[in-house]
Amino acid sequence: MTSDALPGPFSDRLGYLLKHAHLRYTEVSTRALAPLGTDGRELAVLAVLASDTPLSQQEAAGRLGVDRTTMVALVDALEAKSLAERLRSPTDRRKNIVRLTEQGRQLLDRAERTRLRTERDFLAALPAPDARILLSALRVLATGD
Amino acid sequence: MTSDALPGPFSDRLGYLLKHAHLRYTEVSTRALAPLGTDGRELAVLAVLASDTPLSQQEAAGRLGVDRTTMVALVDALEAKSLAERLRSPTDRRKNIVRLTEQGRQLLDRAERTRLRTERDFLAALPAPDARILLSALRVLATGD
DNA sequence: AGCTGATCGTCAGTGATACTGACCATAAAC
DNA sequence: GTTTATGGTCAGTATCACTGACGATCAGCT
């Protein structure tokens, strides 16, 4: 989907605005992370897995807001790149504990810095107070409080 | 994708927030429009086609920010429901002029009222000034000004 | 007029994404 | 200990938007 539509009569439709703001950010973010060999989606998984307490696939999926079946492929991808590894939980052998490798942790660090810079740049089109209000408003709308 | 993830450590990632705010709104909007037999996507197409000057498929696609190949299916759907019709442009017979039927116009009226109410409800979780700033900020981010 | 290149709508094929339903292994409940 | 529930996996499906190709039509140039 193109994200650079004409302004048109659509700039007051909430669905349109949320969708296209997201599309635009995804483009920017993808471009910024590409040199690191990752993308926003994968980075979010890494960030979740970096939790101090080790997470099972399902717990990680819950925090990411994705399905557990989707999580399978995400962890597959990380494992294929040696960014994470599955360990069988000693206390419940049904569960996979997913742990970042040293490589994964390093990538996370570098990529997170890139992400923060990218977000800042993206929001730089807004007055600073508006950017703050935007973020807090999105938090409310996205999480239902 | 589920939209009711745990708040988690993710409420400060712009990509996550935009995505999930959009998902949540889409749910709400879809539910609200379902009784009318339409959805937010189709409604947006109707609204674009209601332009005073008649639009070709490609012009409509441009205003919607969708690909012209995507537009084919959208117009197909409208035509199947007798909400719009394709007319060959007299001045350029390559073009389809897409025009709302009376039925389409009536649905648009009813559905737009529902949409406005739905957006208001959705934003009601925010203080009014924040909602206004959110909208104008999204406009900037979505359209690149 | 006649030819060349571009544009519009269409369609088939592809890739990404996320789901459902089923399965097996394991655990928990009783 | 048998039943029930849970975690991970996979196959199949649906949606969505794209690319690349095609025929029809138009516009520019000669």
Q: What confidence tens digit (pLDDT) does each residue in B43-64 have?
A: 999 999 999 999 999 999 999 9
Question: pLDDT, tens digit, for every residue of A30-71?
Answer: 999 999 999 999 999 999 999 999 999 999 999 998 999 999
- Residue B74 belongs to a domain: yes
B28: CATH:
1.10.10.10
Residue A7 confidence (pLDDT): 44
Residue B44 lies in a domain: yes
Q: What's the confidence (pLDDT) of residue A143?
A: 83
The total of structural domains in chain A comes to: 1
What span, in angstroms and rounded, lies between the C-alpha atoms of A84 and A70?
16
Q: Does residue A25 belong to the interface with chain B, where contact is any CB pair within 8 Å?
A: yes
Q: Please name the residues in contact with A97: beta carbons below 8 A apart, sequence gap of 6 or more.
A: A54, A55, A56, A86, A87, A88, A89
Q: Where are the beta strands (DSSP E) in chain B?
A: 55-56, 84-88, 96-100
Contacts of A47 in chain B (CB under 8 A): 9-10, 13
| Protein CA at B73 to nucleotide C1' at C9, angstroms | 11
Residue–nucleotide distance: B14 CA to C25 C1' (Å): 39
Model-level pTM? 0.90
Does A70 map to a domain? Answer: yes
Which residues between 42 and 71 in chain B have a beta carbon less than 8 angstroms from any beta carbon of chain A?
44, 47-48, 51, 62-67, 70
In the numeric block, the tokens 């206004």 are attached to B132
Helix axes B14-33, A14-33, angle to 10 degrees: 150
Domain span holding position A104: 39-143
Position A2 scores a pLDDT of 46
Q: Is residue A6 part of a domain?
A: no
- Domain assignment present for A122: yes
Whether residue B132 is contained in a domain is answered as: no
- B130 in a structural domain: no
- Domain annotation covers residue B112: yes
